Amino acid sequence: MQLQRRQRGLTFIGLLFVGAIVAFSGVIVAQIIPTYLEYISVDKAVKKAATGTTVAEVRATFDKAAQIDDIRSIAGKDLDVGKQGDKVIVRYSYTREIHIGGPAYIVMKYQGDSNR
């Protein structure tokens, strides 16, 4: 009896529970990472597009970069193009939804501009 009281550790049910939490977290992280990598590509494409002088040129440059980098969440028509003094400023904002199960989603909101 005394030997059982001194023993410590994780039960099999506890191990299954911890394993399920780790697996679920891994699946969620594996779905979030591509959206963040796409955000980095969008930011790079927006900064490249901000070198244009007209709205049409900025959007066309972004669309070309988006096609190369396989950006699907946002297009050139979704960009907010403006000027601040003599500098072209391009702003963007978009959301990505990650389905967890049933009615549950994780909503990732990304935004930025070419000035950063």
Do the domain assignments include residue 4? no
Give the Cα separation of 39 and 103 in Å (integer): 25
Interval 67-92: pLDDT, tens:
999 999 999 999 999 988 888 999 99
pLDDT at 86: 85
Do the domain assignments include residue 69? yes
Do the domain assignments include residue 95? yes
Q: The domain containing residue 55 runs over which residues?
A: 10-113
The structure's pTM equals 0.81
Instruction: Kindly report the average pLDDT of the chain as a whole number.
Output: 91
Interval 34-50: pLDDT, tens:
999 999 999 999 999 99
Mean pLDDT in residue range 63-68: 95
Number of domains, the chain: 1
Do the domain assignments include residue 2? no
Do the domain assignments include residue 1? no
Do the domain assignments include residue 77? yes
Do the domain assignments include residue 67? yes
